[in-house]
Amino acid sequence: MLNKEAKYFTFILNTAKMIKDYFYNDRGKHMNDKNVKEKTQILKSTKVKIALVMLALVAGFIIRGKLEETRKTQLEEEAEEDVMSKRADYAEPVGKDNKILQAFLAYMPGADVQIACEEDVTDDGCKDLVVIYKKDGLTRTVVAVDSGDGTNYEYTEPIPGPIENQKIQFKNIDKEGEIEFIITGEKNGAVGYAIYRMIDGAPTDLFGEGMEDCC
């Protein structure tokens, strides 16, 4: 690409020099009044017109290419920023040594945890844990709710969870009471999500789209 651009610029410079030579004498001075008529005739000549058209076309081609390249770079940067923004919205999974996760694994032996994220989803000041796991060929979601002492936990009834690429987000959508959690995931390319809120001790589906195709 750089070699092509270099050739284009060289062509432009040579063409410009050719045109310049028409307007300057061999000593590099402007044509005198005696040559004004001759200069006018040169400008009308087919050769100069072709040279000017070619110069404009090549310059336009290069400018257009540069604009397209700049726009492509801008779109790539915007896409990257969008991806990074979405990633920043996802909750960070807890580590294997998380005490609530350890309590869940003791409660549900054999569970293959896909993702587990910690947040106070009951608005009682204590951290809870949203867990998506696989067991016996099923993918399920459970909330481990702190009983209030930071040691004992109650577990909600398992509900269907997305099969793969699971993500969890926490958002206080209505700015009141319990914080909502959003579960997204996929199954065979189908993407879905559901928004849950803890109501009467159970995760209640408030709204979603395509989740039934992901579970």
Q: What is the pLDDT of residues 184-198, one digit of tens each?
A: 999 998 999 999 999
Q: How confident is the model at residue 35 (pLDDT cuts 50, 70, 90)?
A: low
* pLDDT at res. 28: 44
The sheet with strand 180-187 has its strands ordered as: 164-171, 180-187, 190-199, 202-209
The alpha-carbon radius of gyration of the chain (Å, integer) is 34
pTM above 0.75, yes or no: no
Same domain, 85 and 103: no
Does any domain span residue 59?
Answer: yes
As a whole number, the mean pLDDT across the chain is: 81
Is residue 94 a part of any domain in this protein?
no
What are the structure tokens assigned to 51, written together? 């040279």
Higher pLDDT, 121 or 4: 121
DSSP character string of 91-112: PPBPPTT-HHHHHHHHHSTT-E
Residue 81: the pLDDT is 55
Instruction: Name the residue among 90, 98, 104 with its Cα closest to residue 132.
Output: 104
Domain boundary among 89, 107, 139: 89
Question: Does the pLDDT of residue 33 top 80, yes or no?
Answer: no
Q: Does one domain contain both 28 and 8?
A: yes
Co-location of 80 and 151 in the same domain: no
Lowest model confidence (mean pLDDT) among 1-10, 86-95, 169-178: 1-10
State how many domains the chain has: 2
pLDDT tens column, 138-179: 999 999 999 988 889 999 999 999 999 999 999 998 888 889
Q: What percent of the chain has pLDDT over 70?
A: 68
CA separation for the pair 126, 169 (Å, rounded): 18
Which residue range(s) make up the domain with 177?
99-213
Q: Are residues 104 and 209 in the same domain?
A: yes
Residues 80 and 110 in one domain: no
In a domain, 63, yes or no: yes
What confidence score (pLDDT) does residue 116 get? 98
- Same domain, yes or no, for 67 and 121? no
